[in-house]
A and B are shown apart, each in its own frame.
Chain A
Amino acid sequence: SQTIHQWPATLVQPVGSPLSLECTVEGTSNPNLYWYRQAAGRGLQLLFYSVGIGQISSEVPQNLSASRPQDRQFILSSKKLLLSDSGFYLCAWFRGDRVSGANVLTFGAGSRLTVL
């Protein structure tokens, strides 16, 4: 079966520290992968998406970066966290909908980051 994993689930980091969030997808190959961020009480903001290994599209200029070292692995990083980086980070992949045949976004469980 097709599943998406994210870790860590929760983390608390001081301002200025580095960050690494990891996302992996199982049961599929060459998925489109996405990173979204949801700040407290706000909607989902698209940060990065990738259509293949080494191919990253950035949507919002900021101190975050993304990498895709393997087909089913997507990593979100920062060298120095800001207070404004706090939020709920969601990885998603683009899968085929069995009923309609169209592709839909499916989310992982999320990583909740608090920057102090």
Chain B
Amino acid sequence: QKEVEQNSGPLSVPEGAIASLNCTYSDRGSQSFFWYRQYSGKSPELIMSIYSNGDKEDGRFTAQLNKASQYVSLLIRDSQPSDSATYLCAVNMAGTYKYIFGTGTRLKVLA
């Protein structure tokens, strides 16, 4: 089992819709979780971090964490064409300085 798993996509949504991106992880002791956005040819940039079970909202973005199910998700409301990118889920492995990334989900927002 991979340490961090994501559906590679592409996930296509119409402009204005909600995009839902999912991530599962294997290390049950992990406490810190992150979503990064990566445009083609660019380096990843942090969108959200989440550390507690439940929802965390920041503008159009909501991160959801369920540690019992080892599941992290990212919702993007009112999706815009500029949101088209690859979204990477990252997990800080418990008790380490290691940050492991999923392979990313490619999102396409159709105008």
Residues of A within 8 A of B (CB): 32, 34, 36, 42-44, 46, 49, 51, 57, 59, 90, 92, 94, 97, 100, 102, 104-110
Question: Which one of A46, A59, A104, A109 contacts B34 once the chains associate, using CB atoms below 8 Å?
Answer: A104
Asked if residues A90 and B43 are in contact (CB atoms below 8 Å), the reply is: yes
Q: Is the interface of A mostly helix, strand, loop or mixed?
A: strand
Set of chain B residues within 8 Å of A34, measured between Cβ atoms:
99
Set of chain A residues within 8 Å of B46, measured between Cβ atoms:
104-106
Classify chain B: how many residues form its interface, as a range. Answer: 10 to 19
Set of chain B residues within 8 Å of A109, measured between Cβ atoms:
42-43
Asked if residues A46 and B43 are in contact (CB atoms below 8 Å), the reply is: no
Q: Is B101 an interface residue (CB 8 A)?
A: yes
- Complex CA distance for A43 and B103, rounded to whole angstroms: 4
Asked if residues A94 and B97 are in contact (CB atoms below 8 Å), the reply is: yes
B18 to chain A, nearest CB (A): 24
Asked if residues A43 and B101 are in contact (CB atoms below 8 Å), the reply is: yes
